[in-house]
Amino acid sequence: MPSITTSRRVLSLVAQTTLALAASMSITSVSSAQVDSGYTQYRCVVLNETSACPAPSVTPASETRVEVVPGPYASYLMHLGQDSDTAIETARARGEVAVQRTVLVRTRPLSAMELHERHLGRLATSATSYQILAEAPVEAPSAQACIESPQASAF
């Protein structure tokens, strides 16, 4: 028959081992929850926990751009490898006029669900919208302006 002191030692050893095992499991579960970005994203998107969501990136709400849009023939020439200025000038010699557009570009932040859908590759909408504010044909440079330009005098 085992002695009482041996049983106490065994119980003490079992208790210490169980306590050490429980402590290591709780530390592991806390650290793995912090590292698990999938679970964090799930909490943000599905459970709607704002504390789990990353801070939104700061993007400009809107900006205005001025773009020169070539016509179809100039676009074709650029597809063949000409640079845009040469292609626009060649197309202008054939009677095509390029258009200068003033465009308002608005960027909206994506919701958590849209970010999740984009991550999965299923988001079909864009966060950027374009609105044309003004369109005007690009005038051909006059011969006088070419003569007086510093580039023309350098040659």
Residue 59: its pLDDT value, please? 55
| DSSP 8-state code for residue 54 | P
pTM of the model: 0.43
Kindly state the average pLDDT of the residues 5-10.
67
Residue 46: its pLDDT value, please? 82
Rounded distance between C-alpha atoms, residue 13 and residue 39, angstroms: 36
Residue 123 scores a pLDDT above 90: no
Q: What is the DSSP string of 72-113?
A: HHHHHHHHHT--HHHHHHHHHHTT---EEEEEEEEE-PPPHH
Q: What is the pLDDT of residues 10-54, one digit of tens each?
A: 667 666 777 666 666 655 555 544 557 788 888 887 887 878 777
Residue 78: its pLDDT value, please? 94
The fraction of the chain above a pLDDT of 90, given in percent, is 21
